[in-house]
Structure 1
Amino acid sequence: MSNNFKKGTICVQGGYSPKAGEPRVLPIYQSVTYKFDDPSNLEDLFSLQAVGHLYSRISNPTVAGFEERFAQLQGGIGAVATSSGQAAILYSIINICKSGDHIIASSSLYGGTVNLFKVHLKNLGIEVSFVSPEASKEEILSAAKENTKAIYGETIGNPELNILDFEKFAETAKILKVPFIVDNTVASPYLCNPFEHGANIVIHSTTKYADGHAQSIGGIVVDGGNFDWSNGKFEDFTTPDPSYHGLVYTEAFKEAAYITKLRVTIARDFGACLSPFNAYITNLGLETLHLRIERHSQNALSLAKWLEKHPKVKWVNYPYLETSKEYEKAKKYLNGGGSGLLTFGLDTDIEGTKRFQRALKLISLAVTLGDTRSCILHPATTTHSQLSEKELEGAGVTTDLLRISIGIEDIEDIIKDVEQALEAV
């Protein structure tokens, strides 16, 4: 399907075009392997001289259909699906970094990402410098080193809900001649296309809005095909790969060098692949992404406006509130909505905050976001509890911060549930 179609159409029909007599809906190819008639054909597949599926850890027809739809929706040239969002984050980095390398990351990140960066990448010999999302271009540049290989950020920081200043970070990445990697999970492909704003690689936890029903864990890495890997800083792309008989990725795959290398080396050797069943379920979820994300955004804005007026609410943060400091950036980079996350603090202590959570009846206490069902959690004691006080401050996580992922229920029922729970405060 052409990328010229609108996103809603790609959500429904992208990535799969059945021939006459074939299933109308992308089927589940629940198979590990594939049959071949000619050993030469299989040999060509293993040496990357032919296109096809040889083993489902590397590629599978159901997963490939999902990857193609997602790449079309996000505006990339190709994608590799992974077993989780965390795997997608890791793959996006280690495809270009090895021991001795360095990356710069915005400090306003999901807690699991911060822990991955500060602990496990460090154990792999990859150093990460965190910078404030409010840092100037000069401050970001001052964090760079000769071995810097990427700049990383989130479109909508989780849970600070800051909108990434794409222009500033993209310009900095260009000066350093490194790729700009963006986690677009909270915004979803429908609300933001980071490639239009200077990103080179986009990742998602497809567990969230892509699936949308809290049923299938998954992740995806999307390649914009818009970075020059032959600029002298990425020799693994421009020198012969001995595992493929001296193949050079930039010569053999041109603009698709990054995503091809990720599939045939990182995905092949680390093995965190998306199962065909989860790809099938998430692909079904994508069919209604454009409808759901509009409802998520409408509901979140309505609740945010209601909370602003409640006497027991100390503060409210939602990017599409006109009172938000992120409002101008939200209008600039987001397509008509601020997604389904909002945060707020109550005029009470931690015990009062817990009483409020216990009193909720419709809104569940659950560790996820992007679900059709509304849910709430307290990041400082859950998703970001492993961070130090300084790291919590950098991520915008205060002790009174509550994060609600607003679902697609009737907004009057959501507000009524919050209203009755506030009586417990």
Structure 2
Amino acid sequence: MSPELAAAELAREAGAAATPARPPAASAPSPAEPPVDDWDGFGFDTRQVHAGEYADLNTGLRVPPLALSAGYVFDDFDDQVDRFAGRSIDPIYSRQGNPTNGVAEARLASLEGGTVAVAVSSGQAAISSALFALAQHGDRIVSTASIYGGTRILFGRSFKRFGIEVDYVWDADDDAEWDRAIGPDTRAIYTETIPNPRNDVTDLRRIAAVAARHNLPLVVDNTVGTPALIRPFEHGASIVVHSTTKFLSGHGASIGGAVVDGGNFDWEAAERAGRSYPLITRAPRPGLGSMLDRFGSGAYARAVREAVVNDIGPSLAPFNGFLLHQGMETLSLRMERHVDSSLRIAAWLEEQPEVESVDYAGLPSHPLHGIARRDYSGRTGSVFGVTVRGGIDGARDFVNGLRVFSRMTGIGDTRSMIIHPLTSTHATFAGEINERLGITPGLLRLSVGLESADDLIRDLRAGLDRVR
């Protein structure tokens, strides 16, 4: 055999060996299992990747597509009638709902352990929508005093103009102060899991007991905590709000917010006790039942969607909804890194001679560390305060010496950020208010990102070296 023929024979043998024989066809092939479409009972990490997703039936896209449409086609004349009459939950217009945003809504509701979520255009829109569904002109809200400065501004300016007053409780452990603040015209209690900027974690169980005693829904902002660290419904909350701009999206690339209905508040009992929630418990027009009659445990969320978001219009742009459900896929992984770095940095800062105090409940030295251990396993997020010596001059020198930390407003980004609350988020408050809140001239708010903790510590050291 010639060398050429031998080479060809070897090639044929190699090809035959590399290509296995086709197995005989089964007489009755078993069908493929359908994909999971109900993620209840699966773990948190699995649900943050899959909950709410759907397969695109047109093309088989694995990632739910971006649905850019202002409106939706009616099946027929009667379908249009049913949608406008409130007998169908299918959307009429993207101001009420959008398939892309629906993925993010279902995913967040699953992670928080609620019934239904409503996505909106920002965190401030979430707070406003959540409370406008509960209160109207002449009503009042009671809030813990230590909350985000922007929320205080919202309450003191826009809510006041709309005729809704907010009363503050300074000592959340004092039942007598709660009882004095709550009256017959109070419609909700509002608080945050991890208040910004001082990380003075809230005892949700205690406040939930107050709310239950007074037949009031407890509304909790869980922006800084996220459901990866704490789920307020498990501690007695009725409603959860988020600025999804922050940790849930995670990259600082989009603005958004969300309201989550826990489905666990007894609206009828509250009405019997003298609390009034007409958007939820009363029929909007003859022949149509109330939200509670039609939507049961999702009645409050439906009231938010139909009677607030649809009317006022703070709907979420679908592109931002897409970024939100993509961001949530890695939430627990990112939060683990955020918190690990924060614990290390806070402990390091506490030992530096230029630092007067560190407001981080995850530290054993913090007065609220017991609550932090009980409810957060000692892991209280990555937004906290540090006070440097020298007052505002020391703060200025410190901030100006940083190169890795971004000097900007915002929290919950992959990038670390720093801001001076007294001259920014709390600049409009009276001196005595800031003093009671602990907003001092030397206080800085840190939001620890995902950079190397070693690099962040070196950057902080360089800033402290400039503090005289």
CA RMSD of aligned residues (A): 1.4
Structure 2 counterpart of 1:220, from 243, 258, 270: 258
One-letter identity of the residue aligned with 1:370: G
CA distance in 2, matches of 1:142, 1:57: 40
The correspondence of residues 101-120 of structure 1 with structure 2, limited to 5 A, is 101-120=139-158
Instruction: Give the residue type in structure 2 aligned to 1:194.
Output: P
Q: Scaled by the length of structure 2, what TM-score is found?
A: 0.88
The letter of the residue matching 1:151 is I
Q: Does 1:63 align with 2:101?
A: yes
Q: Structure 2 matches for 1:334-349, cutoff 5 A? A: 334-335=376-377, 337-349=379-391
Superposition map of 1:14-93 within 5 A: 14-18=51-55, 22-93=60-131
1:373 matched to 2:411? The reply is no
Give 2:304's aligned residue.
262
Are 1:298 and 2:340 an aligned pair?
yes
Q: Aligned equivalents of 1:101 and 1:272: distance in 2? A: 22
Return the alpha-carbon distance in structure 2 between the equivalents of residues 248 and 134 of structure 1.
Answer: 35
Q: Quick check: 1:239 aligned with 2:292? A: no
Task: Please identify, of 197-206 and 346-355, the stretch whose mean Cα deviation from structure 2 is larger.
Answer: 346-355
Over 3 Å counting, the alpha-carbon distance change for 1:43 and 1:200 in structure 2 is same
Structure-to-structure mapping, 1:164-243, within 5 angstroms: 164-231=202-269, 232=271, 233-236=275-278, 237-242=280-285
| Range that drifts further, 400-409 or 131-140 | 131-140
Higher relative contact order (CA 8 A, sep 6+): 1
- Structure 2 residue 406 is matched with structure 1 residue 364: yes
**Structure 1 position 4 matched with structure 2 position 41:** yes
Structure 1: distance between partners of 2:82 and 2:378: 47
- Once residues 268 and 349 of structure 1 are traced to their aligned partners in structure 2, the CA distance between those partners, rounded to angstroms, is 47
Number of the residue aligned with 1:152: 190
Counterpart of 2:438 in structure 1 is: 396
State the one-letter code of the partner of 2:50: Q
Q: Within 2, Cα distance between the matches of 1:390 and 1:221?
A: 32
Q: SS at 2:268's partner residue?
A: coil
Which amino acid is 1:252 matched to? R
- Determine if contact 2:49/2:329 at 8 Å carries over to the other structure: yes
Matched, 1:249 2:291: yes
1:130 is matched by which residue type in structure 2?
A: Y
Provide the residue aligned with 2:176 in structure 1: 138
| Deviations 1:374-406, CA, capped at 9 Å, x for gaps | 010001100111111232234332221111100
Q: Secondary structure at the match of 2:160?
A: helix
- State the shift of 1:123 in Å: 1.3
The CA distance in 2 between the partners of 1:335 and 1:68, in whole Å, is 27
Look up the SS of the partner of 1:81 in the other structure.
strand
Higher mean C-alpha deviation, range 257-266 or range 385-394: 385-394
**Residue type of the partner of 2:103?**
G
Instruction: Report the count of equivalent residues.
Output: 424
Deviations 1:120-157 (A, max 9, x none): 21111111110114441221111111111111100001
Bigger Cα displacement from structure 2, 1-10 vs 223-232? 1-10
Is there any run of 5+ residues in structure 1 with no aligned partner, and where? none
Distance in 2 of aligned mates of 1:335 and 1:221: 26
* TM-score normalised by L of structure 1: 0.97
- Relative to structure 1, is the Cα distance of residues 19 and 32 closer, same or farther in structure 2, using a 3 angstrom cutoff? closer
- Pair member with larger Rg: 2
2:361–2:378 CA contact under 8 A, matched in 1: no
Distance in 2 (alpha carbons) for counterparts of 1:19 and 1:217: 26
- Structure 2: gaps (5+ residues): 1-37
Q: Secondary structure at the match of 2:343?
A: helix
Given that 2:143 and 2:169 are in contact with CA atoms closer than 8 Å, whether structure 1 keeps it comes out as yes
Contact 2:122 2:245 in 1 (8 A): yes
**Contact persistence 2:39–2:50 (CA under 8 A):** no
Aligned-partner Cα distance in 2 for 1:61–1:7: 22
Match of 1:307 in 2: 349
Q: 1:214-261: per-residue Cα shift (whole Å, max 9, x none)?
A: 00100000000000111212341222213x854311111112111111
Query: 1:272/1:105 Cα in 2 relative to 1: closer, same or farther (>3 Å)?
Result: same
Shift of 1:3: 3.1
Aligned to 1:13: 50
- Match for 2:79: what amino acid? N
Contact 1:111 1:386 in 2 (8 A): no
SS in 2 for 1:387: coil
Q: Secondary structure at the match of 2:167?
A: strand
Q: How far apart are residue 342 of structure 1 and its match?
A: 2.1
227-236 or 413-422, larger mean C-alpha shift: 227-236
Percent identity at matched positions? 39
Structure 1 stretches of 4+ moved >4 Å: none
Q: Is the 8 A contact 1:108 1:396 kept in 2?
A: no
